[in-house]
Amino acid sequence: MKRCSSFFLLLLVLMAGMATLAAAADKVEITIAGMKPEGEPETLGMYKFGEILTKLSGGKYEVKVFPNSQLGKENAYIANTRRGTIQMCATGTQTSALFPAMAMLETPMLFDNLAHARRAMEGKTFDLINKGFPEASGLRTLNAFPLGFRHFYSKKPLKSMADLKGLKMRVPNIPLYVNFAAECGISGQPMPFAEVPAALDQGVIDGGDSPFADIVALKMYEITPNITLSGHILVIHSLYINEEFYQKLPDQDKQWFNQAAKESADYVWDLMGDLEAKAIKTIAEGGGVVSEPSPEFRAAMVAAGQRSWKLFYDTVPNAKEILESAASYK
């Protein structure tokens, strides 16, 4: 009898071990690369996506997050996602090099506020921008979430468009950004963001523009204490997935990925309002002066933004439809 019990016990142990091995064999590891450091909205969104996907799939998918350009710069990890070396990545309008319409995610003076942008990105505007993108790029855009509006930081107060005229301001080396600066009368100085503090100290530039996360991270308000809430461009990033990998997923798994992407984007959208309020408090406590542009100043920036939209009409076939769609969500 004891031999029989021992045999069945051994059998149960073996069966449990085989089940564990089978479960391990079925587990799929997803690699996702990003550029932002720990604690920033993009990175928080990637971790949240992994957490939700693991839960929805009952542990079938395990997401490995590599932020802060650990897997290379944006161009490198986008290329690796396209070829399927890694499954996913997070980035912004860098994908416009593959498909010009993606630049319209950051159209100057397009959105009045976060709520307006969220309605557009959860609605038809997002679909119109992405129409034809998977076929052209080999990538699928799973969601869209904000990193924050870009605001001017400067050594002197900015009270009107006249104060911007001829001002030497750092701009990202992106045609749309450079063009918008020119339309505002700014003497745009394209340079990497890492070079900005030294350029300010040396008087090479008078200021620049960035989302609050960057302004606070580098304590820009200590060098350029005047922060103008211009909100002229909303920086929007997305989670991208290799299209071939996505299409091979079972239908249920696709639903898990889609739901995890939506919920993680919701998390970042909900978080952004609190992050901006905390940033304004930090800037004020650090000696910075945060000011709202006058209605006349804002109207002039809107006009400058709309003049910069002409770049889209030559490169994006459905640009007019995208702009009209975004306006409909005001």
Task: Report yes or no: 206 and 168 within 8 Å, Cβ to Cβ.
Answer: yes
Helices (H), the chain: 2-26, 41-56, 74-83, 114-121, 124-130, 133-137, 161-164, 175-183, 196-201, 212-217, 243-248, 251-285, 295-308, 310-313, 319-328
Q: What local confidence, expressed as pLDDT, does residue 88 receive?
A: 98
| Residue at 259: amino acid letter | Q
User: Rounded distance, CA 91 to CA 44, Å?
Assistant: 13
A 10 A CB-CB count for 17 gives 10
DSSP label at 92? S
Query: Using CA atoms in the order 87, 90, 92, 97, what is the torsion angle rounded to 10 degrees?
Result: -20
Domain boundaries, the chain: 2-328
* Domain 2-328: which CATH number of 3.40.50.720, 3.40.30.10, 3.40.190.170, 3.40.50.360: 3.40.190.170
If DSSP codes are grouped into helix, strand and coil, which group holds residue 238?
A: strand
Q: What local confidence, expressed as pLDDT, does residue 218 receive?
A: 86
Lowest mean pLDDT among 51-60, 270-279, 292-301: 270-279
- Residue indicated by tokens 């939700």: 52
Alpha carbon 59 to chain centroid distance? 27
If DSSP codes are grouped into helix, strand and coil, which group holds residue 97?
A: helix
The encoded tokens of residue 274 equal 């609190």
Task: Report yes or no: 226 and 289 within 8 Å, Cβ to Cβ.
Answer: yes
Q: What is the pLDDT of residues 104-160, one digit of tens each?
A: 999 999 999 999 999 999 999 999 999 999 999 999 999 999 999 999 999 999 999
Q: What is the pLDDT of residues 194-245, one digit of tens each?
A: 899 999 999 999 999 999 988 998 899 999 999 999 999 999 999 999 999 9
Q: CA neighbours within 13 Å on the CB side: how many for 132?
A: 12
What are the CA-CA distances from residue 117 to residues 54, 65, 110, 135, 207 (Å)? 29, 27, 8, 26, 26
Q: H-helix or E-strand containing 64?
A: strand 61-66
Average pLDDT (178-188) is 96
Q: What local confidence, expressed as pLDDT, does residue 26 receive?
A: 80
User: Rounded distance, CA 288 to CA 272, Å?
Assistant: 21
- Sign for the pseudo-dihedral over CA of 162, 166, 168, 172: positive
DSSP label at 195? G
